[in-house]
Amino acid sequence: MSNSRYKLLSEDEIKEYVPNGIMRIKDSSRLKNALIFICGMALCYVILFHVKSEKKMGNFKSFKEMLIKPFVTQKFENYADFYFTKDESRFLNCSQITNGSKDAIESYVNNGRLKLEREKLLKLPMDCENIKTRIRGDIPSFSKLERPIAFVRNIFTLYEFQESLISLNYHPDNSYCFSIDFKTVHRLSENMLSLSKCLPNIIINPMKYSFDSAGHFQDRAHFDCLKLILNRTWYHTLLLQNYDIVLKSSEQLSDLSEMLNYTSIMGLEYGYKHRYKEDANWTPAGLKLFKNEKGVPDRILHTPLTIRKGLNEVFLSKTFVDSLFDKLNLDPILDLFDNKELYGVDEMLIPTLYENYLGLEGQMTSNCTKLQLDNLTRQTDWNFNGPDGYDKNCKSKMKRHSICIIGVEYLQDFSNSNQISANKVLDNFDFGPIICLRQMIREGETNGISEDALNWSPQYREMKLKQNGTYIKEKFEC
């Protein structure tokens, strides 16, 4: 792993890394240098001034006081105030927008939407009291979760964005583990560390990875985080990427975990042949997949794995994750999928390990290798017509990597969605959906996931049959 150590890149390298024109990540170092310079000058001035004319001028003290004036704790009135000025946020009326008011949406959109811009961030006090206020200040107490969830996320953009995505469904019983990209400016890492020192259920993976839009290191980072939180109490884990927004409350996810029991949800699709090295040795024996091959049937050891595909976002039971770490050597297969020459490499590892029967706990035993698009883990408004950028067929009129970007126009859909998460929310396109969804979740305006919705998933149906003793492998219809 020596190639994934922390390294800060130059501004040009960071710009190069930007996936396309919409996301323009700018390094704040120039601004920082300018500030350091100005502060330095001010200090010199003060010292000179102080030495030369201490007696004459009595106002040095007040200047010093100004320099060390502590941050003032902000009261929790309007969540938007933590990240935006009142003037900026005056057009966002979440109640009206989620109520479907076209006028409210139009007024907000036409006035430019709320955006986080790296150059114009409000001062964010990072002491523990303020962090806690921002994340959970309006939720004075929590009731115990039956089945806590582990959120595992790979990140690289602004700290403010990640902080507010956490606060959306923060619960002290859950675990939140983050892996950070090594090209990210220092500020995200530093602030995430402050956050984790303040809230013990927020864990930062010390390794850094070279994430890119082809999906490299995504699986590796997720697994490294999972390893860090294996001995915490959780029942399902939701694996996420930087721009995913979770649509359900912790209580709703806990209920879902209870229904799913040992099963997991993910897409069940054929792997695309251009996304993996087809001529590699994909047998478990060739991959040295099992830590201990004794007792593993030859038919499993020597049959090439059928390469499967879902999305990178999956909802996995602890039962299955424990079994993965317990029984398998994950490094060789992680490296084989993470082929540096290929694109979209991060959507196959878990579906392949889950859908090929390997005798792991939590797997389904039926051989379900037909196409089943996942409509539970991630809501995505795909739009393959035309280039990225403006697109009148997107509700938000904006598209990136053939996916309509989430704007407040999607909030009504979210309130009765059967999906756990949605993609993509961009902090520098529209921050409004995060603020409003947070309010919706807190006020119980989002639906839980129904048992009916789960019935499309063969692993869930298989479990139900097994539980009442009517499962027959040969007769099971995927």
Q: Which of 367, 386, 393, 444 binds ligand NAG (CB under 6 A)?
A: 367
Cβ-Cβ contacts under 8 Å for 390 (sequence gap 6 or more): 397, 398, 399
Instruction: Quote the distance between the C-alpha of residue 207 and its chain's center.
Output: 17
Closer by beta carbon to ligand NAG, 65 or else 477: 477
Among the candidate windows 22-30, 371-379, 384-392, 407-415, which touches ligand NAG by CB under 6 A?
371-379
Q: Are 428 and 116 within 8 A, CB to CB? A: yes
Q: Is 203 in the site for ligand NAG (CB under 6 A)?
A: no
The beta strand positions in 89-232, using DSSP E, are 149-155, 175-181, 202-209
Q: Is 237 in the site for ligand NAG (CB under 6 A)?
A: no
Q: Is 369 in the site for ligand NAG (CB under 6 A)?
A: yes
Q: Is 213 in the site for ligand NAG (CB under 6 A)?
A: no
CA proximity to 161, closest of 97, 73, 58, 83: 83
Closer by beta carbon to ligand NAG, 101 or else 196: 101
Among the candidate windows 88-96, 168-176, 308-316, 431-439, which touches ligand NAG by CB under 6 A?
88-96
Q: Which of 129, 373, 389, 390 binds ligand NAG (CB under 6 A)?
A: 373
Closer by beta carbon to ligand NAG, 262 or else 272: 262
Q: How many CB atoms lie within 10 A of CB 354?
A: 25
Among the candidate windows 42-50, 135-143, 233-241, 365-373, which touches ligand NAG by CB under 6 A?
365-373
Closer by beta carbon to ligand NAG, 60 or else 262: 262
Q: Would you give the binding string for ligand NAG spanning residues 256-275, x where CB under 6 A is met? A: --x--xx-------------
What minimum distance in Å lies between the beta carbon of 468 and ligand NAG? Answer: 4
Q: Is 467 in the site for ligand NAG (CB under 6 A)?
A: yes
Q: How many CB atoms lie within 10 A of CB 478?
A: 16
Closer by beta carbon to ligand NAG, 261 or else 402: 261
Q: How far apart are CA 251 and CA 242, in angstroms?
A: 23
* Token duo for residue 98: 């989620």
Q: In what order do the strands lie in the sheet with 398-400?
A: 389-390, 398-400, 403-404
Reduced to 3 states (helix: H, G, I; strand: E, B; else coil), residue 398 is strand
Among the candidate windows 161-169, 212-220, 438-446, 460-468, which touches ligand NAG by CB under 6 A?
460-468
The beta strand positions in 174-286, using DSSP E, are 175-181, 202-209, 236-240, 245-246, 269-270
What minimum distance in Å lies between the beta carbon of 377 and ligand NAG? Answer: 11
Q: Bin 469: left if φ > 0, else alpha if -120 < ψ < 50, else beta.
A: left
* Token duo for residue 462: 């298989």
Q: Is 375 in the site for ligand NAG (CB under 6 A)?
A: yes
Q: How far apart are CA 352 and CA 120, in angstroms?
A: 44
- Exposure string of 403-427, with b = 16+ CB inside 10 Å and e = fewer, is bbbbbbbbbbebbebbbbbbbbbbb
Q: Is 95 in the site for ligand NAG (CB under 6 A)?
A: yes
Q: Is 402 in the site for ligand NAG (CB under 6 A)?
A: no
What minimum distance in Å lies between the beta carbon of 191 and ligand NAG? Answer: 23
Closer by beta carbon to ligand NAG, 63 or else 456: 456
Residue 435 CA: distances (Å) to CA of 81, 93, 115, 216, 420? 10, 10, 12, 31, 18
Which element (helix H / strand E) includes 269? strand 269-270
What minimum distance in Å lies between the beta carbon of 147 and ligand NAG? Answer: 8
Q: Which of 372, 380, 396, 417 binds ligand NAG (CB under 6 A)?
A: 372
The residues that touch ligand NAG, with contacts defined as CB under 6 A, are: 93, 95-96, 99, 101, 228, 231, 258, 261-262, 367, 369, 372-373, 375, 418, 453, 456, 464-465, 467-468, 470
